[in-house]
Amino acid sequence: MSNQKVKKERLDVLLVEQGFFDSRENAKRHIMAGIILVNDVPVDKAGTKVPVDAKLRIKGHVMPYVGRGGYKLEKALKTFHIDMKGKVMADIGASTGGFTDCALQNGAAKVFAIDVGTNQLDWKLRSNPQVVNMEKTNIKVVTEDTLGEKVDFISTDVSFISVLKIIPAVKSILKEDGSMAILIKPQFEAGKDKVGKGGIVREPEIHEEVVSDTLAAFEEEGFHCWDLTFSPIKGGSGNIEFLAYLKWQKPETSITEERIHQVVEEAHEVLKK
């Protein structure tokens, strides 16, 4: 039997890291209100140290997915009218598996859950025969041969690297009639001089520039943007993020700079504190 102790972290910090809230101050307000449950037990002190693998939830709110990332893919599927029934998917940057869980609940037949980390994927998904757990796997080395097949759909939620780094892999594994929903995270795409305090990109102009440059880079590699929206929740550090729907085929109408401006403007209006 292992004597290894489970790492602990402050509750407010953990809530932000897992994406429940966009700041420790916001998390603290909810904790003090007594509506945060740790393993189904209320905890009302923000500084309480809790196991990092503890089950966290907000009282009265049952999260439908194993991670809040599921809300991001949920919006992508609805906004972009993506039918997941019977599809084989690659979830790049799977982490706890929010995207994977959402895909399965929407009818996906099989999901390759790919992540460079380890021991993150929720047990519910680890034990699901429809999920291929590819932890400790760098997406940069993944090819069609790695998976043994090409996929119908790809979702991406990568951190600490530019989403552009996944292009060689997706070119290898995505079917000709396939599609993907990529999460664009400005803090990992903008230059360091454009990232503010706390690793947050706040200026709408930089968001527009990042989205435009990212879509242009994918376009150069043969992937065309069919639609664009913003993530319904901020990233763990408080960053606004964007979702783009890409295919090999060209759409009848391309995404314009005006459309990018409109989406960024709406994101700032909806997600402002």
* Prediction pTM value: 0.81
- Rounded distance between C-alpha atoms, residue 227 and residue 184, angstroms: 13
Q: Is 11 or 198 the better-scoring residue by pLDDT? A: 11
Q: pLDDT tens digits for 58-101?
A: 887 767 888 888 999 999 999 999 999 999 999 999 998 999 99
Spatial strand order in the sheet of 224-230? 131-134, 110-114, 88-92, 151-156, 174-184, 242-247, 224-230
Q: Is 87 or 196 the better-scoring residue by pLDDT? A: 87
* Topology of the domain covering 8-58: 3.10.290
**Residue 28, pLDDT above cutoff 90:** no
Question: Hey, where are the domains in the chain?
Answer: 8-58, 69-271
* Topology of the domain covering 69-271: Rossmann fold (3.40.50)
Q: pLDDT tens digits for 126-181?
A: 999 999 999 999 999 999 999 999 999 999 999 889 999 999 999 999 999 999 99
Domains 8-58 and 69-271 share a fold: no
From the CB of residue 96, how many other CB atoms can be counted at a distance below 10 Å? 23
